[in-house]
Structure 1
Amino acid sequence: MLQAQNLELAAYYYQRIEDKELTFNEREVLLDSLLLVENIKVDTLKLAKIYRSFIRETGFSELKKSIQLTEKIENLAVSLNNFNFDDFKKNHRNRIVFLYRDQQLYKALKAGNNYLKRYPKIDEYTGKIYRSLGNIYSDLGDFQKSISNYDKSIYLLKKYENNQELVRSYVCKLETLIGLYDSSYTKQILEIKKELEILKSYISIENNIVNYLNLGAFYDFQKDFESAKENYIKALNVSISEEDSINIFRSNINLAIVSKKINQLEKAKYYLNEARSNILYDKDAIDMISNNLADIYQKENNHKKAIIHYQKAITQALQSKELDYKTLPSFQDIELSPNKLDILGYLIDKANGWIAYYDAEEKPAYLQNALETFTLADQLIDIIYVESREDLSKLFWRKKSATFYPKAVEVCYRLQQPEKAFFFMEKNKAMLLLENMTNATAKRLSKLPEDILEREQNLIKEIKTLEAEIQASATDNQTLDSLKNSVFKYKKEYNSFVDSLETNYPKYYNYKKNINIITLQEVQKNLQENELVLQYIVGKEKGFVALISPKTIELEALPNTGILTKTVETYKASVSKPFINKKDKKTYQTVAKKLYQQLIPFKESNALFQKRVTIIADGMLQYIPFEALLTPDNEYLIKTVGIHYNYSLSSAAQSKQNKVPISKMFIAIAPTKFKNDNYGKLATSSAELEKLTNIFKANHFQYEDATKQRFTEAYGNYKIIHLSTHGGIDNTVPWMAFYDEKMTLDELYFTKNQSELVVLSACKTSDGELKKGEGVMSLARGFFNAGAKSVVSSLWDINEKASNDIIQEFYKNLANGDTKACALQKAKLTYIKNNGNTSEASPYYWSALTITGDVTPIYETSSSYISYILGGLLLTGIILFIRSRRKKQA
């Protein structure tokens, strides 16, 4: 009887809960009270359906409530230990969307990945899940993962012929690509534009609006502001007709930004006010209005008002209480915010605002405020960078940081704080390379098993090989989609592999994440008395150079970047070709002197005289040889200064930790002729190679024996690897040729071995695409990434005979115990002396070869040891003599 009564009571409750005359809150209270009644067995599946009906009513209007309801349904699924009911699957998909809309990004990411694990069978919904993951990664700033997930989504939605959802995935990918603001994505953007035109009958009104907004942003990036406005106005008009407040807001914001760029400031204010009236849907978006208003006030020279509004944007994005405009939020508050990307932009804008305020009123406190703001922005970008797993995403954030580090150095220069400037200059250099080097050290110290390392290498190799195929492919879209799907599969496997490493080998993980930036004190402590460092940073408008000695640091400004660029370009053009007539020589002499004065602007004109100098170049300066600059005495700089290069001082310090004993001394690999007829024969004779190898009593491999496999087997087993071959760049990707096939930069990146020295006697091995904040992506850099301690490489197409002469002499000097830098300097001076009155005297023949990295001797001969002892005895004698003189004077 009790059971029947309970059933009747439950039925009554169910009937009342479904009564539409009751408010939502009343029905929810009824349901909660039913669950509290004793001895009533509730139908779990029916309960799930009721909760889902509640979700349909609340939806996006009450996100917090909707998320709570999805949690209740999830708990029901867990209690049943059965997730296969349709309501449970739908609930899981809803939960991902709600968490994402509520900007609970990490929870949304976890929910999305859990869905794919829980429901591994591919169906028509899986493509939508991958799109959701793409959206989440995009908002987190891991753009390459975002694009990979969009590609997977597109692949699956095409497979299931779901054109409406396919359009949405294309639109989302388009938005991310445009947001990256990189011309290298133009081709992909135009391809998606073409695909959307084909699918236009499936484009919903909402996606049509978003498409207009995306195209507006694309034209904005290309500085075609009229086309940008045209597309934004189309988006606005459709949004108004649909009463779509979200996209009315977005359209007005974008119209305000374009108007601001073309100095139509009143129009910009009008559009911002219009955006404000449509902001009720999302209180978080008000930060965008504040930041854009700040930009307008900045243009109007109302600097205080600009700073106040930048501060408003920051606190609004943090959803925190307003702070005094001079006060910065705590790093802890920012670190926990889901809006890190927006906050970073606002911090950079505010720091620049303080600089403009200082320029107007010249109050040093404003510069100090700018410095503190840049410092906080730097801390934030470190967090975003670490959270991005893929190298291309990291490169994007390096590029982003490279926009404000020169400004931060400028502030330090004005405040006369060269020590702090050094920190920002070092942060501007090759962080991705430093991270990879740190990772290599972590693997060695934590003693990861060989099979683990081999598996990692194989996975990276598969990814890089497929990505190279995609880049070189001219096949149909279906084949490209298939290739992208394969890349996605391997990337997913690789990410899972890395996650397992971090879990199973905590020592490795803890060391790997500890990426150390070397301090100025550490640099100075390791410098010898006759050593200096020249470190450069070149921004969009201004650049700076630091001269670091064992005890001092001087910071000087470079000429305006526009002026410096012209000088560098003229110098590079002049020095990278032979002198044909007196005019060529005169042009070179004029520009080489001028550039010396611009790049070494220190009061002491002989500051570098008879010193060993490490050059940390930046930007375009990485394409030129400093050795061929002309001093005020009209001498090549190389005659009085020993020069070598490094990507950064931090990466140089890290490289010294990666020491692995190597027993074999030398191997030379020189194809001379090639299986591919496109490569011309090299004139290097067997006799020349024998001269090289006789120095170290080693073998060389030539002709058919000079294969790619021969190189990969040799790399890491010899202290010195000599490669004499063809090199070049295809579609920004550097390569070098072996007898049977090419090796690209990407392939070098998954070759993990160590050699003391790699000599690249090939063309353009220091050349490549310049990535802001990272440097030139050249073959030389690839060898460092693969573990080489130092690399001799070429800046342009070298003359084979001249380079052979220099390299022969270089090896002789090495064998005599010279440092690598000294050995190359002596070899070049010998060449200059021997060819001083010939047609081959111009710097083109000798200055292309440069040495980067560690310059310690390969080994010390008995003669160099004796010299060292004699030098020590001489120094001791001088000290004793001085002491005896002091005693006599006393």
Structure 2
Amino acid sequence: MRRLHFFGLWVLVGILSIYGCREKIPSWSNLIKDHAHTSELNASFQEAFSLRYKRDYPAAARAFETGLKDNTIGQSTQIDVLNQLGFIYLEMSDTTAAIPLLDKLAKLESDFNSFQRADYWYNLGVLNLQRIKPDEAKKNLEDALRMYEAKYPRGHLRIALTNTKLALHQVDFGLKAPEVNNSIRTAFSSFYFANDQDSTLFPYAEEVNYLMAQYYRMVPRDYGAGLNHCQLVEKLIARAPWKDTALLARSLGVKGLFLKKKGRYHEADSTIKKGLQLLQKQGKNSIFIQEMYRFLMANAAGRANVDTETKAQGEKLYFFYLTEFRAHQKSTNQSEIYIQTDELYAYYCFYRLDEKKQDCLEATELFLKKIKRDMPIYRYYNEEAYNFLTSLEIKNKNYDKALTHQLTSFKTEIDAVKAGKINNWSDAIKPANANLRVNPFFAFSGAGKIYLAKFNKENKVEDLAFALKLFEIADDMMSLGLTMNEEGVLSYHQEMGDDIYTVALEAAHLAYTLSDRHPDVLVKEKILDLAFRFIERQKSYILFREDLFFDPNTQYFISKIKEVATDITTLREDSTNMNSILSLVKANFEYDRLLNKLFKRSIENFKQKIPKVTEIRSRLKKDEVLVQYKVFKDQVYVLSIGKKQVYFDTVGHIAKLQKYVAQFEKLVSSENQHQFNYAGLDSARVVYDLLIKPIEKTFPSKNAVLIVIPDRFLTDLPFDALPIQLDTTVKDWRNVKYLLLKHYVVYAPSWKIWQQNRYARVSSSAYRAAFFSYTTKEGQIPALALEGAKAEKDALADFAQVKVFKNGTCTAAKFRQCAYRFKILHFCLHGESNPLKLDANQIFFQINNDQKIDPLSGSQISNLDLRGKWAIISACETGIGQTNSEGTYSLSRAFLQAGCAFTISSLWEINDKSTTDILVNFYKQLEPNDCPWIELAKAKRQFVEMHNYPPYNWSGLIPTI
């Protein structure tokens, strides 16, 4: 006789009832008869099962309890019904009823086959999770999982559900990031492969989304992605025929923490309180109520550290929630399960180190005395407490004590026997100990910060040298996570990269300035290598999709991720269709799965070898100088590498530099600036004095090729418009001695792209060029729409064999179809950029009634194969875009990422006539073997000599390699 497997029926009915079916859905009774002991299933049992699957648990429980009184049913059916009752009691959190029932099932265990026993262990594991018995729960769930996997080696919903419960166990009782990460990933993948042909992901997608939100909170700290998962949990629960109030409440708590991390403390407070109120109304889940109080106190502590205005409110809220929590403990006779009050008080005091140092010290030391090694999350609490103590001692300038606490924290994750052999940081950096900790990058870089602070106080050069050594080792062990929020920016990684590499570069700069005085301790060549490495690592600490385009194996994943990410962003607050929402859930899972695969493929490429400075110098031509700027919060560094000399230093106070750069950009980018502006140019001269003048000794005397890699707010700066000197006798624009007239400036968006493209050249054989431009009708004759387009086309035709795309052939699709056939791609179109979004740069191939249509985005361009080509983009704003530590994500960069050897682009809405004049002269004097960026500079020089125009007319057109 077939047995009733409640999981199978649960899933079948859930899918049919929630997602809908095109065919007529059979009645509850027919479904039950198909999967149960039909001969024994009387009408009362059928009604009980119907109530159970409708999630009317109290009525279902009464119906099953009544049915069990029937002495005519067999033992097999009795066990099935008891199992159903066990599940119902679990869902109702009625442990008083569930425990004796499960005891009864245990006595009947001899009658079970292995698969029924697995169901029993699963239910018992869920019960023990609710009873806050983590060790028993873990054993039960692992026993069930082994049996499920033996029966279903290719995956099954039972496996997915069990893995999900194990992951929830890990989230609640583990708190060790790598284990949590693995558990969540396993739960996710088992759900995904349980039924990979289905367009939805079962009624339990909200649980997995909750886990994914926890993953983004604890592992990569990608707050945008975490919020997205929390919102999906809310939507799924709101639209389901049942309400998982406890999960919704917990999701609101996690959402509140994400809002706190974004500095939205008021929203965080109200969101977490809403979750707390939901749990309190249930009158159960004491572990989660404690969790909510913990979140509320943490949020209040964070608010107390923002500014003077919110400080008093934050302090008041902190002690209010602390009092409420203690009252909750007293009224429910509970001990502290999930939360440690002393740990929270230490956390609160940590935000007030400048005022209450002794409070923090006492609270943290008290906490260390209370925690025990047998606690489920002992290591986490122990490490956090020592991190507090480290920060406190740094504030107190007790650096030796800080190093001791940091070392103790480092040893927390190490086997006790091995940890006993590490007595100082010299022991810790030995190769045998380097990989004993989960994330040595943060441990060693943290110790490096302390040694640097110690040097600044005591001036012992040995401390500086050791700090630099620690930063070098930390960089070797850099731990990278591939995550992405909805804007495409890894904000957490950028934040951490800035924090750590700012200090590492400061240490390198200090060491460089002292190297001549202490050559036995500080080796100048080694320091320069580290400085260049730290600059590049800070950039590559953040991994963007576009950085991987050169590897053909990653292109599928990149394209798929973008496609799925687009699906995710279509989720709207007013969406009501359950199928479409659950499809988005699947898209979210697919997104994370692809990112994980992409990371595994790209990790070796990501950790590319950074060359030594001597290697870079050997590759440079005699007239080339690499000039790389690195902007941090308080300081700007420049590393200029010439064939004969190297310069490494800071370039002045960042506030002063930003002020003058802003004034200069306003001068050169204003279309209305016609009258000669001496004062504006004088501000520009200050920029030259800060950025260029100090490094001139690395340049050849004249006509050096300056390969400039700018950073952050310097990326929109037209360097060749900087005046190298200025006196009061100059009365017009053409007589200003611009940098353009002395040297050739060419830009590179990043060192990596420049290295990959620098040897790509247009072949010396007959050129083939494509020219794309709009047309309009003048009478019955089509004509090129943009002023100057015909002149640019004719000049290009004198240099190369030109294929003109206009009318219906000037389309984005046509360009993508035939771009590979041409060596030169010239666009006389309209473009636009949005500096706030990564993929918002577009070039438009059609225009209709002044409406720009048929766009091609930067992300689409970067996925093409354009190796060795030139892209002349005679359009507006094609050289600007979102700026971050890796440079500017512009249309120009997209062409370079696609493999182009050279581009010409614009920094603002260019003047059509002057742009045409420059490009026509560029083509006229260009020879097949010339460097195109040099010829562009010569064309601009000629324009400056012929016209008394301000820099707006010519400096916005820039060459990039």
The TM-score with structure 2 as length reference comes to 0.71
Amino acid in the other structure paired with 2:697:
E
Give 1:68 deviation, angstroms. Answer: 3.7
Amino acid in the other structure paired with 1:666:
A
* Deviation sequence 1:725-783 (CA, Å, 0-9, x none): 33333454333333123334444454454462222222222222222x22223222233
Which residue does the alignment assign to 1:827? 939
Amino acid in the other structure paired with 1:459:
K
Aligned residue among 326, 330, 340 for 2:425: 326
Amino acid in the other structure paired with 1:647:
P
Structure 1 residues 481 and 696: alpha-carbon distance in aligned structure 2, compared to 1, 3 A threshold: farther
Structure 1 residues 728 and 58: alpha-carbon distance in aligned structure 2, compared to 1, 3 A threshold: closer
1:791-870 matches, within 5 Å, as: 791-835=903-947, 838=948, 840=949, 842-853=950-961
CA distance in structure 1 between the aligned counterparts of 2:702 and 2:157, rounded to whole angstroms: 79
Does 2:272 correspond to 1:169? no
Give 1:263 deviation, angstroms. Answer: 4.1
Contact 2:564–2:588 (Cα < 8 Å) also in 1: yes
Which residue does the alignment assign to 2:551? 442
Aligned residue among 517, 522, 530 for 1:420: 530
Contact 1:542–1:561 (Cα < 8 Å) also in 2: yes
CA distance in structure 2 between the aligned counterparts of 1:89 and 1:124, rounded to whole angstroms: 12
Does 2:648 correspond to 1:555? yes
| % identical equivalent positions | 17
Give 1:664 deviation, angstroms. Answer: 6.7
Which residue does the alignment assign to 2:120? 49
Aligned residue among 618, 642, 646 for 2:748: 646
* Deviation sequence 1:705-736 (CA, Å, 0-9, x none): 53332333344442222223333334543333
Contact 2:343–2:364 (Cα < 8 Å) also in 1: no
Give 1:614 deviation, angstroms. Answer: 0.9
Aligned residue among 537, 541, 560 for 1:459: 560
Structure 1 residues 581 and 671: alpha-carbon distance in aligned structure 2, compared to 1, 3 A threshold: closer
Does 2:158 correspond to 1:158? no
Amino acid in the other structure paired with 1:723:
F
Contact 2:642–2:698 (Cα < 8 Å) also in 1: no
CA distance in structure 2 between the aligned counterparts of 1:109 and 1:497, rounded to whole angstroms: 15
CA distance in structure 1 between the aligned counterparts of 2:530 and 2:434, rounded to whole angstroms: 23
Contact 1:501–1:509 (Cα < 8 Å) also in 2: yes
Which residue does the alignment assign to 1:134? 213
- Listed as ranges, the gaps of 5+ residues in structure 1 are 1-6, 8-19, 675-679, 854-890
Give 1:815 deviation, angstroms. Answer: 4.2
**Farther off after superposition, 287-296 or 358-367:** 287-296
Contact 1:538–1:619 (Cα < 8 Å) also in 2: yes
Amino acid in the other structure paired with 1:548:
I
Does 2:169 correspond to 1:98? yes
* Deviation sequence 1:85-143 (CA, Å, 0-9, x none): 99977644432223343232354134303541464474443311231233235433173
CA distance in structure 2 between the aligned counterparts of 1:702 and 1:825, rounded to whole angstroms: 29
Amino acid in the other structure paired with 1:171:
G
Give 1:529 deviation, angstroms. Answer: 1.6
Which residue does the alignment assign to 2:873? 760
The TM-score with structure 1 as length reference comes to 0.76
Does 2:776 correspond to 1:665? no
CA distance in structure 2 between the aligned counterparts of 1:784 and 1:318, rounded to whole angstroms: 46
Give 1:550 deviation, angstroms. Answer: 2.7
Structure 1 residues 371 and 581: alpha-carbon distance in aligned structure 2, compared to 1, 3 A threshold: same
Amino acid in the other structure paired with 1:537:
K
CA distance in structure 2 between the aligned counterparts of 1:216 and 1:539, rounded to whole angstroms: 30
CA distance in structure 1 between the aligned counterparts of 2:909 and 2:212, rounded to whole angstroms: 46
**Farther off after superposition, 634-643 or 655-664:** 655-664
CA distance in structure 1 between the aligned counterparts of 2:557 and 2:698, rounded to whole angstroms: 52
Which residue does the alignment assign to 1:72? 143
**Farther off after superposition, 651-660 or 539-548:** 651-660
CA distance in structure 2 between the aligned counterparts of 1:502 and 1:266, rounded to whole angstroms: 45
Amino acid in the other structure paired with 1:814:
L
Give 1:639 deviation, angstroms. Answer: 1.3
Contact 2:448–2:467 (Cα < 8 Å) also in 1: yes
User: What is the RMSD computed on CA atoms of the aligned residues?
Assistant: 4.5
Amino acid in the other structure paired with 1:642:
Y
Count residues with an aligned counterpart.
786
CA distance in structure 2 between the aligned counterparts of 1:246 and 1:850, rounded to whole angstroms: 59
Structure 1 residues 95 and 706: alpha-carbon distance in aligned structure 2, compared to 1, 3 A threshold: same
Contact 1:157–1:163 (Cα < 8 Å) also in 2: yes
1:255-654 matches, within 5 Å, as: 255-260=348-353, 263-269=355-361, 271-273=363-365, 275-276=367-368, 279-280=371-372, 281=375, 282-283=377-378, 284-316=380-412, 321=419, 323-327=422-426, 328=428, 337-338=437-438, 340=439, 344-381=441-478, 383-385=479-481, 392=488, 394=490, 396-416=492-512, 417-429=527-539, 436=546, 439-443=548-552, 459-463=560-564, 465-466=566-567, 476-478=573-575, 489-490=586-587, 492-493=589-590, 512=605, 515-577=608-670, 580=673, 584-602=677-695, 604=697, 609-632=702-725, 635-654=737-756
Does 2:845 correspond to 1:738? yes
Higher helix share: 1
**Farther off after superposition, 583-592 or 522-531:** 583-592
Which secondary structure state, in structure 2, belongs to the residue aligned with residue 741 of structure 1? strand
Structure 1 residues 480 and 408: alpha-carbon distance in aligned structure 2, compared to 1, 3 A threshold: farther
CA distance in structure 1 between the aligned counterparts of 2:794 and 2:253, rounded to whole angstroms: 61
* Deviation sequence 1:117-174 (CA, Å, 0-9, x none): 4644744433112312332354331737655544543443233152622332243244
**Farther off after superposition, 697-706 or 641-650:** 697-706
Which secondary structure state, in structure 2, belongs to the residue aligned with residue 787 of structure 1? coil
Which residue does the alignment assign to 2:186? 111
CA distance in structure 2 between the aligned counterparts of 1:118 and 1:621, rounded to whole angstroms: 48
CA distance in structure 1 between the aligned counterparts of 2:189 and 2:665, rounded to whole angstroms: 55
Structure 1 residues 432 and 135: alpha-carbon distance in aligned structure 2, compared to 1, 3 A threshold: closer
Amino acid in the other structure paired with 1:240:
R
* Deviation sequence 1:803-842 (CA, Å, 0-9, x none): 121122223333453202101111110111111xx3x1x2
CA distance in structure 2 between the aligned counterparts of 1:480 and 1:206, rounded to whole angstroms: 35
Does 2:894 correspond to 1:782? yes
Amino acid in the other structure paired with 2:459:
E
Which secondary structure state, in structure 2, belongs to the residue aligned with residue 601 of structure 1? helix
**Farther off after superposition, 593-602 or 539-548:** 593-602
Structure 1 residues 415 and 684: alpha-carbon distance in aligned structure 2, compared to 1, 3 A threshold: same
Structure 1 residues 461 and 669: alpha-carbon distance in aligned structure 2, compared to 1, 3 A threshold: farther
